[in-house]
Structure 1
């Protein structure tokens, strides 16, 4: 997982992935981030932020997206 080796957060959008495949991806990411002492946060039903241990995820991301403050194109 190259971004984690470089200590960078990743936004994962699983909107166009089949449900079973998306679950396997989330399971893999959860295991990898656990092993690296990082953090994963669900932003919406299909979007996750995965961050290594040196990056803090703060704030109400769901509320910000709903208010269109972070991603103005989101519904």
Structure 2
């Protein structure tokens, strides 16, 4: 019984029926609040098992579809493009940029020819600065 109901009952201002009705309404509010709290529970195990990082070192442009499939399947990808010529590496970066954009993800340069592609649920923080001792305009992205 609420404080308001006890006060009214003490002075006989309301019938017992109306006080019971108030109690039932209060109990219904508590039950709906408990149901709302239960729906906000998220299992951490499912979040941890879905996070994966794939390391790729493609040798030709033909492997770009497999790399893009990893991002589409919500996996982060680290690409090392050192074994490719400049034109194929640039084509892979263009393709992966489109894939990452379509997935609302991110692409970051980690090194001179190393890139990180992440889907939307992965947040990237921080910056890696690159000191270029030998500047090669053909390799610059």
Which interval holds the TM-score relative to the shorter structure?
0.7 to 0.9
Q: Which residue of 1 aligns with 2:111?
A: 44
Quick check: which has more Rg, 1 or 2?
2
Q: Let me know the Cα RMSD of the aligned residues.
A: 1.8
Uncovered stretches (5+) of structure 2, i.e. residues with no partner: 1-67, 132-141
1:5 to partner: Cα distance:
3.2
More helix by share: 2
1:23 to partner: Cα distance:
0.2
Uncovered stretches (5+) of structure 1, i.e. residues with no partner: 67-75
After superposition, what is the alpha-carbon deviation per residue over 1:4-51, rounded to whole angstroms, capped at 9, x for unaligned? 233111000001110000000000000111111100001111000000
Give the total of aligned pairs: 64
Stretches of 4+ aligned residues off by more than 4 angstroms:
none
More strand by share: 1
Bigger RCO (CA 8 Å, 6+ sep): 1
Q: Which residue of 2 aligns with 1:30?
A: 97
Instruction: Quote the Cα distance in structure 2 between the aligned partners of 1:30 and 1:5.
Output: 12
| TM-score (ref. length: structure 1) | 0.75
